[in-house]
Structure 1
Amino acid sequence: MNERRPGRDRVRQLLDAVLGEHENGTALEQIAATAYSSTFHFSRQVSSTAGESPAALRRRVLLERAAWELQRGQSVTDTAISAGYESVDGFSRAFAREFGCPPSVMPTRRERGHWLPSANGIHFHSPTVLYVDADQEQSAGDVVALMVRHDLEDTDAVLAAAETVSDEEYRRIRMPGRRVLAWSGDETSFADVLRHLALDKLPWLASIEGQDEPDFGGSDDAVSLRRRHTEVASRWLAMTRDVERRGAWGDRVIDALCDPPESFLLSQILAHVLTFSAHRRQLARWMLTSCGVDVSHLDPDPIMWHRRASGGNQ
């Protein structure tokens, strides 16, 4: 993936305006004003770009969020209110029309997921947490799922261990001039390696989801990076599960954020991410050791990870 163009994507601004929170309701005029646009122009831009009117896009995504909240134990009444409905009955009718079941039974159907059909690939994602359903067996036969989940959980473990490292050791140059990839920038310190490890899935997610250039700003201490990785991980897990469910690993993404634009198979993207994530996790283990951190509990072997995850039964 080549160097990406800087700047804010106007389309993303419009989508943010549609999906954002509004204190005094969600009238189209107010949403358009948020995007500094006339109502007519705003509606036309969103509809032509996203294939849905602003109201339809917002309604669908809020219903997806409602399904996600219900699956995690929130009451139907509270969910209806947070989705912007004036009555539980109105919410229940809208929910049943889209999901084919009343909201009261959604908690028993977590395997169904929370996404609704969408022509534009815009969906609600869990905002803060990587959810691993307890009732889904860690099957060693599902190689893609095993490798994806091992990568995410091992990354979290490495980041957790790094929280104990002093700032001086964390930022000390250990490998002058070191670059894992020619276009990805220097990775000379522990901080550099962990920043790439925690955030390098973001550009790929942006390409697959058709989003704007991701924000790489913010604190780069281990605690902050671990928090951001948790957010990235939930989106990455949702994406890979969706691709696997659709059998779409042969689909191709035209990444217009690259300069020049490039074409990637989804299978190529996953293989790339897993390969260089594993490399960086091993670099991080070496750096932890050089900082005096005991890494004996951080076994990188996916076999051992899977045995622990499945209770030692496989």
Structure 2
Amino acid sequence: MTDTGRDRLRELLDAVLDDDNDTLDDMAAGAFSSVHHFSRQLSKSTGESPVALRRRVMLERAAWELQRGQSVTDTAFAAGYDSVDGFTRAFGRAFGHPPSRLGSATARGHWLPAPNGIHFHSPTVLYIDGPTSAEDSAGDVLALLVRHDLDDVAALLDAAKNLDDETARRPRLPGHQPLAWSGPEESIMAALVHLVVDKRPWLATIEGADMPTDPAPDTISELIDLHADLAPRWLALTRDIDRRQAWGDRIVDALCDPPESFLLSQIWAHVLTFSAHRRLIIRWMLSDAGLPVDHLDPDPIIWHRQQSGGFA
């Protein structure tokens, strides 16, 4: 996503969390390091020893698996324990109850306290909760900005859906490239693609999924469908992180080349900044194409008033 060079922290974490690295010696070998140097580097970077970090993350994974119906026995051996009794004792010390009783674990999620914001992430950890009214988000700046962004993207896609292909792809801002590493965005279609698709790799990174390999949508209709899929997931993820006050957590992004580490707060600030820029640029390009956009006011104040019936 950005190009800053080698990420040694990610290499160390890979060695800690590799399924085959059950011992400290295995971890150090996986990081091409001595045990002493590996332990010192990892502990200094994360505030947690390699063994403690691996044990905690494996227990988080175990809690997630148990919540989804896997047996205690299968979970114990998958977590690297030699016996169910040993796993049960470790789980009880960490979560405050045995693995056979999941009520409180389900209520609070599967993450344990950590000094570094490094946690187990899974492809299906997200939830999509019920709709939140405009009044509910009025006192929450982040919630308002995220909901406005998603709604505004949908409105711009709807406005652009009747453009013919030539009009949508005609260069209108030669040389326009908001990010040096993401390619030019000279046409309505190019800017819309980035506006929608650029959330997809972030979602994959945080969900722990593979990088999407299917090509970017080639029509505005396809972009509308993709946005309809991504928007509720993005909103649910925002609410989940905020509910846990996890904005200081760090994601090790293995999808970057080379991999990088990002704070969740950095990711949302990045997405909102460049989405706001693109939405304004697309308005200008739609107007240049002869498509009226006066009814698409970009101001979140106007949007929020409309959402709340004009009383906010």
* Fold shared, TM-score > 0.5 on shorter chain: yes
- 2:212 is aligned with 1:214: yes
CA distance in 2, matches of 1:183, 1:62: 43
Judge conservation of contact 2:191–2:278 (CA < 8 Å) in 1: yes
Structure 2 partner of 1:6: none
Judge conservation of contact 1:202–1:232 (CA < 8 Å) in 2: yes
CA distance in 2, matches of 1:220, 1:2: 25
CA distance in 1, matches of 2:247, 2:305: 27
Judge conservation of contact 2:149–2:275 (CA < 8 Å) in 1: yes
CA distance in 2, matches of 1:154, 1:255: 28
Structure 2 partner of 1:312: 310
Judge conservation of contact 1:162–1:222 (CA < 8 Å) in 2: yes
Structure 2 partner of 1:267: 265
CA distance in 2, matches of 1:131, 1:294: 35
- 2:251 is aligned with 1:253: yes
- 2:242 is aligned with 1:244: yes
Judge conservation of contact 1:138–1:146 (CA < 8 Å) in 2: no
Moved more, 169-178 or 270-279: 169-178
State the Cα distance separating 1:162 from its structure 2 match. Answer: 0.6
CA distance in 2, matches of 1:136, 1:173: 37
What is the identity percentage for the equivalent residue pairs of Structure 1 and Structure 2?
51
CA distance in 1, matches of 2:287, 2:125: 39
| 1:232 pairs with one of 230, 233, 243 | 230
| 1:149 pairs with one of 147, 153, 160 | 147
State the Cα distance separating 1:178 from its structure 2 match. Answer: 2.2
Judge conservation of contact 1:125–1:234 (CA < 8 Å) in 2: no
Structure 2 partner of 1:117: 110
State the Cα distance separating 1:298 from its structure 2 match. Answer: 0.4
Letter in 1 for 2:110: P
Structure 2 partner of 1:283: 281
| 2:200 pairs with one of 183, 202, 207 | 202
Structure 1 partner of 2:185: 187
TM-score by length of structure 2 reads 0.62
CA distance in 1, matches of 2:69, 2:305: 38
- 2:159 is aligned with 1:166: no
| Gap regions ≥5 residues in structure 1 | 4-47, 64-96, 101-111
| Gap regions ≥5 residues in structure 2 | 4-54, 71-100, 112-118
| 2:174 pairs with one of 159, 173, 176 | 176
Larger radius of gyration: 2
Letter in 2 for 1:244: D
CA distance in 1, matches of 2:132, 2:63: 33
Question: What SS does structure 2 have at the residue aligned with 1:264?
Answer: strand
How big is each residue's C-alpha offset from its partner over 1:106-164, in whole Å with a ceiling of 9 and x where there is no partner?
xxxxxx9x9953663222657xxx87626673432111100110000001100110102
Question: What SS does structure 1 have at the residue aligned with 2:162?
Answer: coil
| 2:293 pairs with one of 282, 292, 295 | 295
Question: What SS does structure 2 have at the residue aligned with 1:293?
Answer: coil
State the Cα distance separating 1:260 from its structure 2 match. Answer: 2.0
Letter in 2 for 1:289: S
State the Cα distance separating 1:250 from its structure 2 match. Answer: 1.0
Question: What SS does structure 2 have at the residue aligned with 1:213?
Answer: coil
Question: What SS does structure 1 have at the residue aligned with 2:153?
Answer: helix
CA distance in 2, matches of 1:166, 1:296: 21
Letter in 2 for 1:217: P
Question: What SS does structure 2 have at the residue aligned with 1:254?
Answer: strand
Judge conservation of contact 1:203–1:214 (CA < 8 Å) in 2: yes
Question: What SS does structure 1 have at the residue aligned with 2:261?
Answer: strand
Judge conservation of contact 2:250–2:261 (CA < 8 Å) in 1: yes
CA distance in 2, matches of 1:162, 1:298: 12
CA distance in 2, matches of 1:257, 1:99: 34
Q: How does 1:39-58 map to 2 (within 5 A)?
A: 51=58
Aligned residue pair count: 225
Question: What SS does structure 1 have at the residue aligned with 2:206?
Answer: helix
State the Cα distance separating 1:59 from its structure 2 match. Answer: 7.9
State the Cα distance separating 1:176 from its structure 2 match. Answer: 2.5
Q: How does 1:95-106 map to 2 (within 5 A)?
A: none
Q: Alpha carbons of 1:61 and 1:165: their partners in 2 closer, same or farther (altered >3 Å)?
A: farther
